Amino acid sequence: MKNDIHNTRKQGWLTLAALVVIAIAVYIGFTPLFNLIEGGVAGRVLGSSFGAIFVIVLTMFLLNKQTEIEQESKKGERVFDEKVKIYQQILDITRDMLIDGNLSQEEINRLPFPVIRLQMLGGDETIESFQIVFEALNKVYSEDEADTVKINDDDRSEIYKLLSDFASVCRQDLGISNNEINSRIKQETINTISNSGKKGKDLTKFSFNGVELAKNKYIHAVIKGYVDENPSITIDEFSNKVIERTPEKLPKRKNVYEIWKTYDEAIELYEQKGHKRYFVTKRGGDYLKDKDLVISLADEQICISNQWSIDSMSAFIEIVSEKGLRTK
């Protein structure tokens, strides 16, 4: 495409040069030549010939310019489409990083090649804007030695702000607007995004063996306490004597929110979706290697859900109390 445009421009300049040469030649030599042949039919033929040549060359120049404009237009449309694709890809990758609140090495490694494509297509300001985002993500990830790092609220808000700045630069680079987004609108958008999906944390504690525990840790302690007292229990007995995966009294506990899963199922969920919704290891541990929170039955290893609302606690306590489990 670049060579085509270059050749078209070169041909256009040659045509323009020919046009200028003809114009000068006609201006200087036409009158003496016309006088030499003393007008008449020969003079009229000569005049018509020069006029036709001039018009032909001028038409060639105009057609060449039209071709050049069309080629530039096609190039611009193609580049615009590719820019939109790469900007969307980068935003999609960063969305996946932020949506679950965790930052993994696999997610970080998805960015280098899109950034290289960005250098190929984007303007300098666009590249610099996303480089700041990339550096912020790397900083968050490097602050913890774990393979997967939790993004705290302050870092998340800062990254959203940098992404908003990047989107504003992309907007100008694409020619959608020559002006940056109004700073007030941008800040309000960042605040809305940062606070979306947040609920007030419930800090209610539950006592077990004289220790005050958060909701999810209390449930883990109750179940583990029973299994420790009954180490020969099998997985089928556990489902019948302790608690089912999806009790009728807790209808929302399905799929990725089941009360418990086998260890292999919990790891498979993590590998497929990146979800750490089951107790496998303590905070900072290696989710794929450590098993300090996995509960061992006689014939299977299980993991208890760490996702619990205050509304479901009474139903859980009622279920296990009916089965004879100790809840205090």
User: Which residue matches tokens 């905070």?
Assistant: 283
Find out whether 190 and 161 touch, Cβ atoms under 8 Å.
yes
pLDDT digits (tens, 9 = 90+) for 296-320: 999 999 999 888 888 788 888 888 8
Write the CB contacts of 162 (distance below 8 Å, at least 6 apart in sequence).
129, 132, 133, 136
Per DSSP, the residues of 183-221 read HHHHHHHHHHHHHTT--PPP---EEETTEEE-HHHHHHH
Q: pLDDT tens-digit profile of 214-253?
A: 888 999 999 999 999 998 999 999 988 888 888 888 877 7
DSSP secondary structure string for all residues of 276-288: --B--S-TTS-TT
Cβ neighbourhood burial of 247 (10 Å; 0-12, 13-18, 19+): middle
For the chain, the domains span 1-75, 100-198, 206-322
Mean pLDDT of the chain, nearest integer? 77
For residue 2, what pLDDT is reported? Answer: 45
Q: Which of 107-116, 191-200, 223-232 tops mean pLDDT?
A: 223-232
Residue 11 pLDDT class (50, 70, 90 cuts): low
Residues 97 and 187: their CA atoms lie apart, in Å, by 21
Q: Token pair of 205, please?
A: 């504690």
